[in-house]
Amino acid sequence: MICVGSFVTPMWVYSSRFYNHNDGADMKKLTVAALAVTTLLSGSAFAHEAGEFFMRAGSATVRPTEGAGGTLGSLGGFSVTNNTQLGLTFTYMATDNIGVELLAASPFRHKVGTATTGDIATVHHLPPTLMAQWYFGDSGSKFRPYIGAGINYTTFFNNDFNDTGEGLGLSDLSLKDSWGVAGQVGLDYLINRDWLLNMSVWYMDIDTTAKYKSGVTTVKDSVRLDPWVFMFSAGYRF
């Protein structure tokens, strides 16, 4: 207290003169803003965390390796065209850095041809691929580059020679299913807690045997595709 003559004045009277009640409101606003920013920057906003599952969907292009192919008897070497279809990946995060991914897609359709005859056949295939992945960075990172290695299984179906191929005496085309190794690199960009953008590349070891008839003779030829697969997609995390 402060004594002035016979008057006694409490200290809080003087203190209140120098305290602006708006300061308390401003501090509350700053605290709320700081908490909001912290939440946005924390792992809860951008996270690949253990136990999380997410799906990606986008365009997947299968591009056979330069020089891939084989020979078609007396026709010599042949080539296989690129093809783009709907690609899907399903990923489960076993830990904050280790993921398990399954690649799926709508059926790919490739034209097979030679330099002298043009297109002579069409083949379809599905290449489901199971990958073990390592994600770099921590669970709160907005950018998550990753690498992966795994196993590819490719099944071929609806394989037919067209009119040009049949005109050359070719018929009864079939291709043997293939097992091989696969490698992968990719990058996730996390837009928010639920959505992400992705780009990824696979290399797949796909070797098969083409069986067909040339006239009345049954022929078997080795075929090497070994494609690069490029995918650009958007993903949703559950």
Full-model pTM: 0.77
What is the predicted pLDDT for the residue at 29?
54
State the Cα–Cα distance between residues 133 and 56, nearest whole angstrom.
15
Q: What angle do CA 35, 37, 39 make, to 5 degrees?
A: 70
What is the predicted pLDDT for the residue at 36?
45
Q: What are the per-10-residue average pLDDT scores of the chain (238 residues)?
A: 49 47 55 47 63 97 74 72 97 97 97 89 96 94 96 97 94 96 98 95 94 90 91 95
Q: Which residues 6+ apart lie within 8 Å of 163 measured at CB?
A: none
Name the nearest CA neighbour of 53 among 104, 97, 103, 94.
94
Domain ranges of the chain: 53-237
State the Cα–Cα distance between residues 122 and 80, nearest whole angstrom.
9
CATH of 53-237, one of 3.40.50.2300, 2.40.160.20, 3.60.15.10, 1.20.1260.10: 2.40.160.20
Cβ atoms of 106 and 94 closer than 8 Å = no
β-pairing, 118-126 vs 129-135, is unpaired
Q: Give the pair of three-digit tokens for residue 166.
A: 């049949």
What is the predicted pLDDT for the residue at 25?
56
